[in-house]
Amino acid sequence: MSIAMFIYAFVLFYVLTPGILLSLPPKGSKMVVAAVHALVFAIVWSFTSKYVWMTTSSLFSAATMKPALSTTKPAMVKVSM
């Protein structure tokens, strides 16, 4: 797991903590509220994690690409036995 995905999971977990962004159901017990928020987290994670992974991996791979030492193709060598 990359550091970007870790940060994304951390922020998503914090935002979907009961009482931070929303509290579903409003008059439910602690266990019901926790279960609903866990379900919301799982649904949001499953729909967005691949997009975030692809976006962050392409951003970081483009930033760390190194130029090739040589632009010519290596010569093919024929080996006979």
pTM: 0.68
DSSP state of 72: S
| Alpha carbons 29 and 41: distance in angstroms, whole number | 18
Q: What's residue 9's pLDDT?
A: 95
CB burial string 45-69: b at 16+ within 10 A, e below: beeeeeebeeebeeeeeeeeeeeee
pLDDT in tens, the chain (81 residues): 688 899 999 999 999 999 898 888 988 999 999 999 999 999 999 999 999 999 988 877 766 655 555 556 666 667 776
The alpha-carbon radius of gyration of the chain (Å, integer) is 23
Q: What's residue 5's pLDDT?
A: 92
Q: What's residue 66's pLDDT?
A: 58
List the chain domain ranges: 3-51
